[in-house]
Chains A and B, each alone.
Chain A
Amino acid sequence: MSRFDQRDEILARIRRALGAADDDPERRLAVMKRLFDHPPGTVPARARRPRDALVAQFISMLESQAAQVSRLERARDIPKAVVDTLRRRNLALRIRHGSDPYLAALDWASEPALTRHLGAATADDAAGLSRALAGISETGTLLLASGPDNPTTINFLPPLHIVVVREADIVGSYEEGWAQLRALYGERSLPRAVNLVSGPSRTADIEQTLIMGAHGPVALHVFIVGSD
Chain B
Amino acid sequence: MRATSQAFLENAERALGDVQLQRALENVPRGFVTKRAAARARLPEFDALRDEARAIKDHVLANLDLYLEEYERKVVEAGGHVHWAASSAEARAIIVDILNAAGARRVTKGKSMVSEEMALNEALVPQGFEVTETDLGEYLIQLRGETPSHIIAPAVHLNKEQVATDFRRHHRALPAGRPLHEPSALVAEARQVLREKFLAADAGITGANFLVAETGSAVIVTNEGNGDLTQTLARVHIVVASLEKIVPTLEDTTTILRLLARSATGQECATYTTFSCGPRRPGDVDGPEEYHVVLLDNGRSELLASDFRPILRCIRCGACMNHCPVYQAVGGHAYGWVYPGPVGAVLTPALIGIAEAAPLPEASTFCGRCEEVCPMQIPLPGLLRKWRMRAHEAQAPGTTPWQGRLALRAWGWLARHPRLYQLAARLGVGIARGFWARYGRLVGAPFTSAWTRYRDLPAPEGGTFQARWRRHQRHRQLSSAQWRHKGPGQ
Partner of A18 from B24, B65, B254 at Cβ < 8 Å:
B65
Complex CA–CA separation, A201 to B229 (angstroms): 12
Given the known A-B contacts A195-B274, A203-B187, A204-B223, are A35 and B83 also in contact in the complex, defined by CB atoms under 8 Å?
A: no
Given the known A-B contacts A10-B297, A14-B301, A35-B70, are A216 and B224 also in contact in the complex, defined by CB atoms under 8 Å?
A: yes
Given the known A-B contacts A18-B62, A148-B284, are A213 and B191 also in contact in the complex, defined by CB atoms under 8 Å?
A: yes
B224 touching A202 by the CB < 8 A rule? Answer: yes
B93 touching A139 by the CB < 8 A rule? Answer: no
Complex CA–CA separation, A6 to B296 (angstroms): 10
A130 at the interface (CB under 8 A from B): no
Q: How far is the CB of B4 from chain A (nearest CB, A)?
A: 24
Complex CA–CA separation, A35 to B229 (angstroms): 30
B229 touching A156 by the CB < 8 A rule? Answer: yes
Contacting residues, chain B, for A35 (C-beta < 8 A): 70, 213-214, 248-249
Interface size in chain B (residues, C-beta < 8 A): 108
B226 at the interface (CB under 8 A from A): yes
B285 touching A17 by the CB < 8 A rule? Answer: no
A201 touching B271 by the CB < 8 A rule? Answer: yes
Which residues of chain B from 225 to 274 have a CB within 8 Å of any chain A CB? 225-226, 228-229, 232-233, 243, 248-252, 254-255, 257-258, 265, 267-274
Q: How far is the CB of A191 from chain B (nearest CB, A)?
A: 7
Partner of B136 from A1, A5, A192, A206 at Cβ < 8 Å:
A206
Contacting residues, chain A, for B155 (C-beta < 8 A): 205-206
Contacting residues, chain A, for B209 (C-beta < 8 A): none
Contacting residues, chain B, for A13 (C-beta < 8 A): 297, 301-302
A42 touching B45 by the CB < 8 A rule? Answer: yes
B116 at the interface (CB under 8 A from A): no
A11 at the interface (CB under 8 A from B): yes
A89 at the interface (CB under 8 A from B): no
A2 touching B83 by the CB < 8 A rule? Answer: yes
Complex CA–CA separation, A191 to B287 (angstroms): 12
Whose C-beta in chain A lies nearest to the C-beta of B287?
A192
B215 touching A189 by the CB < 8 A rule? Answer: yes
Complex CA–CA separation, A9 to B68 (angstroms): 13
Contacting residues, chain B, for A205 (C-beta < 8 A): 135-137, 140, 153-155
Contacting residues, chain B, for A65 (C-beta < 8 A): 267-268, 271
Contacting residues, chain A, for B265 (C-beta < 8 A): 204
Complex CA–CA separation, A157 to B194 (angstroms): 12
Given the known A-B contacts A15-B65, A147-B283, A152-B286, are A188 and B74 also in contact in the complex, defined by CB atoms under 8 Å?
A: yes
Question: Chain A, 122-143, contact with B by CB distance < 8 Å: what is the 0/1 string?
Answer: 0100000000000000011100
Which residues of chain A from 153 to 206 have a CB within 8 Å of any chain B CB? 153, 155-157, 173-175, 178, 181, 188-206
Contacting residues, chain A, for B186 (C-beta < 8 A): 206
Contacting residues, chain B, for A22 (C-beta < 8 A): 65
Contacting residues, chain A, for B153 (C-beta < 8 A): 204-205, 208
B12 at the interface (CB under 8 A from A): no
A192 touching B223 by the CB < 8 A rule? Answer: no
B85 at the interface (CB under 8 A from A): yes
B272 touching A195 by the CB < 8 A rule? Answer: yes
A61 at the interface (CB under 8 A from B): yes
Q: How far is the CB of A130 from chain B (nearest CB, A)?
A: 13
Q: A31-B66, A31-B70, A192-B287 are in contact. List 9 more A-B contacts (CB 8 A).
A: A14-B65, A17-B302, A45-B44, A195-B272, A198-B271, A205-B153, A205-B155, A206-B163, A208-B30
A–B Cβ pairs within 8 angstroms, 11 of them: A4-B90, A13-B301, A18-B62, A31-B70, A34-B248, A192-B280, A205-B135, A214-B226, A215-B191, A216-B224, A216-B228
Interface residues of A (CB under 8 A from B): 1-7, 9-11, 13-18, 20, 22, 27-28, 30-32, 34-35, 38-42, 44-46, 61, 64-65, 98, 119-121, 123, 139-141, 146-148, 151-153, 155-157, 173-175, 178, 181, 188-209, 211, 213-217
Interface residues of B (CB under 8 A from A): 24, 27, 30-31, 43-45, 48-49, 52-53, 56, 59, 62-70, 74, 78, 81-86, 90, 93-94, 97-98, 134-137, 140, 153-156, 158-160, 163, 183-184, 186-188, 190-191, 194-195, 198-199, 213-215, 217, 223-226, 228-229, 232-233, 243, 248-252, 254-255, 257-258, 265, 267-281, 283-287, 295, 297, 301-302, 304-305
